[in-house]
Chain A
Amino acid sequence: MEISVLLNGTQTTTSVEPHETLLIVLRRLGLVSVRFGSDTGETGSSAVLVDGRLVNTDVMLAAQVDGHEVTTVEAFNAAELDPIQTSFMVTGAIQSGYSTPAMILGTRALIDRNPNPSEADVRDMLSGILDRETGHVKPVEALTRAAAVMRGDQTEPFEPVILEPMTNGSTPVDVDPSDQPPDVSAAVPRIVPSPDVPEMSVVGKPEIKVDAVKLVKGNAAFVDDFEDRNLLTAKVLRSPHAHANILDIDDSKARALPGVHAVLHYKNTPRVKYASGGQSYPNPHPHDQVSFDDKVRHVGDRVAAVAAETAEIAEEAIRLIEVTYEPLPAIFDERDAMLPNAPVIHDEPDTEEIFDRERNIVHHIGANRGDVDRAMAGADHVFEHTFRVHQVQPTPIEPHISVAWLDADERMVVRTATQVPFHTRRMLAPLIGRAVKDVRIIKPRIGGGFGAKQEMLIEDIAAHLAIATRRPVKLELTREEEFVSSRTRHPQTLTFKTGVDSDGMLVAQDLYVIGNTGPYGSHAYTVQTVTGLRGLSSYNCPNKRFNCDVVYTNIPVAGAYRGYGAPQAEFALEAHMEDIAHQLGLDPIDFKRRNWVKLGDELDIAPHLGERAVAEDELDEYPRVTSCGVEECMAQASRAIHWHRHADPEWRQPADRPNIRRGIGFAFCMHGTAIPFLDMGGCSMKLNDDGSFNMLIGATDLGTGADTVIGQIAAEVLGVKLDDIKVYSSDTDITPFDTGAYASSTTYISGTAAKVAAEAIRARIKERAAKMLGIDEPCTIELRDNKAWAADGRSVSLEDIALDSLHLEDQEQIMGTGSYVSPDCPPPFAAQFAEIEVDIETGQVTVVKLVMAVDCGVAINPMTASGQVEGGMTQALGYAHCEEYAFDDEGRMVNAELGPYKIYRADEMPDLEVYLVQTMEDSGPFGAKAVAEIPKDGVAPAIRNAILNATGVAINDLPFTPERVWQALRADS
């Protein structure tokens, strides 16, 4: 049928099929700002204006808009940016930018209707567009600011607010209850400066992201935004059983279907063993996966894949594949996996290096310092608590998507949403029978990853099908597939046992963890290693021991998720320490402070865990804490949350609301910055005719702002503006290697690589400048304001140096390269507070406010850094409060949609407040440490401890959903 639409102001007639959604048709017409996030309208990433109203095109048939007006963000893409687009850029409201066009359209519709919207109006509009990245703080600010600009109101520049330090940097202070935090918008970064940090030109400034323009305009930027001639669509047949042998597959009917070009499964695909976790060479064993197996191990496991002319044909072909299953008993709880009668999940002989195959134990991990048993026996007090943490999902709004094709040289090219392009290249090559040199991975913009894309998840399927069909093949997961076949946070059962002396000092700490990796190892070893590391690093203790059994079960596969084992450990640790303090009659903060790691203290368990672990007797010296701003964090955050109220019974039990109890909880947080001796990044730069630079980096910007931050580092070195650095990242044919976006490493590792490269190029520029200025000592030259300056005040521009070097005399390409691997892992620190209310009759917990003060060293870009904390805290809030996988008895997920799974919307958020406390970390680029993952660590224990403060009830299982809390309150009473 034909429809006629007033599309972005032009009457447009086009043919559509009855089943086609408006999303499909608009994208076919080239309007790529309209993006897929789900089939159910839940994400809002596909929203456009129809007759001026924001609607979701994934749940609207194209036929429905026949005769209507449709507006996409492309309608506003003049040369000059629209005020709304500008507001989103300057406020840092864009991270990945995947859903930014929808937000901009919603903003326009709201302002057209109401030029002076309240914050509630703004949040209500944003309720329809899920945002997994920003915590909604900065989009709310962007929208409010846009309305003000469009009304003609005077607006102040959106800049960080600089706060007075409250401490001398190391000594605790008592916060005066009458002292008030600054009254500024929640979105404004609050920076507490350090006297150790020098003033800089580009570093430390809230620079607009280098990719902001293309993101606010909705230009082609993401995997699916580029047109591929003769593209086929792939679909995957997934297992309905949690555990079953595949006795046979009959694909004859599927193959006979017109439009089907390939059907792949275990009978026609090479059996090459691999592990899908995106990790450095050699990938940890066991390599327990193949592209298509004759056994399925969870509901949603791969069975077969089809490539066809259209998605509809591929789906029909999937339905026509006949599979004969032999269902097997299944196990889901990690505590059952090791029982004698448990089914063996990996009984195939070709998976090697499973620690105890018969008991489903994939890894046993241990680490030790001192003599825990002896110290525990001699301790004045011994405490033991067990905790259970559940399964959750990163849920990036852009699902996994890959497009694979053979290029003109018959090399395999995969454009894919990945955090680990270089690992993917190395891991994919053997699966498709090619050399690494014949595989190219391109990472364009990515719509969020959070660890889910630290995996070679679907690239092999797309590549196999591209080889089989010799045509480009696209595979994009549905939202349901994202839930059941992507990667999740590991559920764990954690038992802490701690010995304490009569002075309240720790003498022994023992942590035993059972980790649930689902049916495949993926990141099983390393995630649980981080659980041990984070669980036993935060507090000084002379005797420490970590033991962990990681087990196979039949739940969807666990893997990497931002925080990577730390959120589980920090929840248990901070709850355990809180309970010890209460049982000893000590103030929890005093008790924790007495024991927590401080400047100069040893990081004593770290060397004994991980891929480069060494035993105690092999180690010469433990690494130490070289920067720590935790006391300033404590002061700022305690003031912001009004901590003194936690001890006020009248506040905790408001007289006018008899069913409500209020509480405030605290969690001490310490994370890591990259993996020492392992994470490596590279950078190359060259000088252009006009004095600008091209920068090539392997680092993988997922929306975090990595390209911007790394560009700022180079710009600072070279004395130019950020706009003079043109950053291109993550193409395995073009850019240098990088391990990828994980382990809180990008700013620290890749940023240092960029600094090294920029310093190399700077040295050569100085030599040329010295020659041009007739100076003997190039070291006296300084670069600033796009010029090279001699000590006597003379200068030559970088443009003149470039023209001279490229065209005029002793021609050369001035360029520099750098790579960096660190021997250090400097910890960022943070103080996390949560204020909550508990309805003691229903168990409903309402989170009122979250405050986090973070010592991340020097925030290279305070806008992106504070955005990372806001977004991270919001994800952590979901982990603590509402998100969970729910299954039926057969292992089928019953809530594989974002609503039932439940991620927080803009109109229900607690207040968020972020403080960036500067310290100078000398090992980092311009003093930087990590910031991306630490916001994931403290929210769950802070909420848990706030519930304890409010009700006196300690709850050791996540999440704090109403019935769980209600049951705990009843049990206590």
Chain B
Amino acid sequence: MSSIVAYHRPNSLGEAVELLAESGRSILAGGTAIVPEARSRRADGVELVDLQALELDSISESAGRLTLGAMVRLGDLATDDRSGQLINDLSRRELPSAMRNQATVGGTVASASSDSVLIAGLLVHDAEVEFHDGRTSPLSQVLADGTGGAIIVAVSIDPTGTGSIVATGRTPADLPIVAAIARSTDGGTRVAITGASSTVVEVDPAEPSAGLEPPSDFRGSSGYRVELVDTLTQRVLKAVS
């Protein structure tokens, strides 16, 4: 009768993989998204596999890259000195305080929300997603193709460079209607856009809205969002130049 019929807390990655091999089971990271979604689901029989015991909640540096464990809380990422100002800022913007203390890096990436400023920040920081089987994929590919049922164990980023966000929303802390997030390094500038496609997308800074067909909703029409993409990209490029 209930939509969540079992709770599992594996103690090893192998155990987690084994549990998730069964159909009808989903990963539980922080729970901010899946708990309300599963509880309101009309179908029966969801089992949740909680990854909290897998020790995936650390941040480490290696070979110039920063590895964010999948279970790192956004609240921790918001204050982590090694992650850089932009990632700190975007982690704070992603959710209000109490939710931020629960939500995780892996859960955020798995959600693939087109409005996620943190995903956009990870994208321009050259994020690679690491899976339980040792595979790694560029974040852009994971956003396009999904995780394929694999467990995200970490997201690695290049923390260097100068970053900025420029956004338009109804209020200062509102989920942006469109946001442009940029990071500039010696190798060039990368720009990612939220709210302008079915996922967060990295765009050509010279032609940011080329090929974009944003969805319309009550917060902004497609045409308006296209205008915002061009305007905000110009501004964010200026901010990081």
State whether B9 touches A63 (Cβ < 8 A).
Answer: yes
Q: Give CA–CA (A312, B171) in the complex, Å.
A: 37
State whether A41 touches B36 (Cβ < 8 A).
Answer: yes
Given known A59-B32, A60-B35, A882-B170, contact A966–B224 (CB-CB < 8 A):
yes
User: Which residues of chain A come closer than 8 Å to B92, judged between CB atoms?
Assistant: 124
> Could you say which of B126-134, B172-180, B186-194, B203-211 contacts chain A?
B172-180
Query: A415: CB under 8 A from chain B?
Result: no
State whether A886 touches B218 (Cβ < 8 A).
Answer: yes
State whether A908 touches B172 (Cβ < 8 A).
Answer: yes
User: Which residues of chain B come closer than 8 Å to A963, judged between CB atoms?
Assistant: 177, 219-221, 224
The distance from the CB of B11 to the nearest CB of chain A, in whole angstroms, is 12
Q: Give CA–CA (A714, B152) in the complex, Å.
A: 65
Contact flags (1/0) for A817-843 with B, using CB distance below 8 Å?
000000000000000000000010111
> Could you say which of B14-22, B95-103, B136-144 contacts chain A?
B95-103
State whether A962 touches B36 (Cβ < 8 A).
Answer: no
User: Which residues of chain B come closer than 8 Å to A125, judged between CB atoms?
Assistant: 97
State whether A127 touches B31 (Cβ < 8 A).
Answer: no
Query: A316: CB under 8 A from chain B?
Result: yes
User: Which residues of chain B come closer than 8 Å to A126, judged between CB atoms?
Assistant: 97
Query: A1: CB under 8 A from chain B?
Result: yes
User: Which residues of chain A come closer than 8 Å to B38, judged between CB atoms?
Assistant: 19
Query: A595: CB under 8 A from chain B?
Result: no
State whether A64 touches B169 (Cβ < 8 A).
Answer: no
A1 to B, closest residue via Cβ:
B7
Residues 766-819 of A at the B interface (beta carbon under 8 Å): none
State whether A56 touches B2 (Cβ < 8 A).
Answer: no
Given known A844-B169, A882-B171, contact A894–B217 (CB-CB < 8 A):
yes
Q: Give CA–CA (A53, B78) in the complex, Å.
A: 14
State whether A844 touches B98 (Cβ < 8 A).
Answer: no
Contact flags (1/0) for B225-241 with A, using CB distance below 8 Å?
00110011000000000
Contact flags (1/0) for A875-892 with B, using CB distance below 8 Å?
000000110101000000
State whether A839 touches B168 (Cβ < 8 A).
Answer: yes
Query: A902: CB under 8 A from chain B?
Result: yes
Query: A347: CB under 8 A from chain B?
Result: no
Q: Give CA–CA (A56, B174) in the complex, Å.
A: 20
Query: A904: CB under 8 A from chain B?
Result: yes
- Between B98, B101, B171, the greatest number of chain A beta carbons within 10 A of the residue's beta carbon is seen for B98
State whether B171 touches A902 (Cβ < 8 A).
Answer: yes
Query: B50: CB under 8 A from chain A?
Result: yes
- Between B5, B97, B228, the greatest number of chain A beta carbons within 10 A of the residue's beta carbon is seen for B97
State whether A961 touches B219 (Cβ < 8 A).
Answer: yes
The distance from the CB of A253 to the nearest CB of chain B, in whole angstroms, is 13
User: Which residues of chain A come closer than 8 Å to B217, judged between CB atoms?
Assistant: 886, 894
Q: Give CA–CA (A54, B96) in the complex, Å.
A: 11
State whether B75 touches A905 (Cβ < 8 A).
Answer: no
State whether A54 touches B101 (Cβ < 8 A).
Answer: yes
User: Which residues of chain A come closer than 8 Å to B1, judged between CB atoms?
Assistant: 312-313, 316
Given known A59-B32, A61-B4, contact A962–B220 (CB-CB < 8 A):
yes
Residues 28-77 of B at the A interface (beta carbon under 8 Å): 28, 31-32, 35-36, 38-40, 42, 47-48, 50, 52, 73, 75
Contact flags (1/0) for A335-361 with B, using CB distance below 8 Å?
000000000000000000000000000
Q: Give CA–CA (A908, B167) in the complex, Å.
A: 14
State whether A128 touches B98 (Cβ < 8 A).
Answer: yes
Q: Give CA–CA (A54, B97) in the complex, Å.
A: 8
Given known A63-B50, A106-B97, contact A846–B2 (CB-CB < 8 A):
no
Query: A44: CB under 8 A from chain B?
Result: yes
State whether B98 touches A56 (Cβ < 8 A).
Answer: yes
Query: A66: CB under 8 A from chain B?
Result: yes
State whether A902 touches B174 (Cβ < 8 A).
Answer: yes
Residues 51-82 of A at the B interface (beta carbon under 8 Å): 53-56, 58-61, 63-64, 66
Query: B111: CB under 8 A from chain A?
Result: no
Indicate which residue in B4, B171, B227 contacts A908 across the interface (CB closer than 8 Å): B171
User: Which residues of chain A come closer than 8 Å to B48, judged between CB atoms?
Assistant: 18, 61
A904 to B, closest residue via Cβ:
B171
Q: Give CA–CA (A882, B171) in the complex, Å.
A: 7
User: Which residues of chain B come closer than 8 Å to A842, judged between CB atoms?
Assistant: 168, 228, 231-232
Contact flags (1/0) for A355-375 with B, using CB distance below 8 Å?
000000000000000000000
User: Which residues of chain B come closer than 8 Å to A53, judged between CB atoms?
Assistant: 73, 75, 101
User: Which residues of chain B come closer than 8 Å to A882, judged between CB atoms?
Assistant: 170-171, 174
Given known A53-B101, A963-B221, A963-B224, contact A907–B4 (CB-CB < 8 A):
no
State whether B98 touches A55 (Cβ < 8 A).
Answer: yes
Given known A18-B48, A881-B170, contact A312–B32 (CB-CB < 8 A):
no
The distance from the CB of A649 to the nearest CB of chain B, in whole angstroms, is 24
Given known A313-B1, A907-B173, contact A884–B31 (CB-CB < 8 A):
no
State whether A40 touches B173 (Cβ < 8 A).
Answer: no
Known: A21-B35, A41-B102, A59-B36; 12 extra A-B contacts, CB below 8 A, are A41-B98, A59-B32, A59-B102, A61-B4, A61-B28, A61-B35, A63-B7, A64-B7, A66-B9, A129-B97, A962-B224, A963-B220
Can you give 17 contacting A-B residue pairs, CB < 8 Å? A1-B7, A18-B2, A56-B99, A59-B31, A59-B36, A59-B102, A63-B50, A66-B9, A102-B98, A126-B97, A128-B96, A128-B98, A128-B101, A319-B42, A908-B172, A962-B169, A963-B219
Query: What 5 pairs between A and B have smallest CB-CB spacing?
Result: A128-B98, A886-B218, A128-B97, A908-B173, A19-B4
Name B's A-contacting residues (CB within 8 A).
1-7, 9, 28, 31-32, 35-36, 38-40, 42, 47-48, 50, 52, 73, 75, 92, 96-102, 168-175, 177, 217-221, 224, 227-228, 231-232
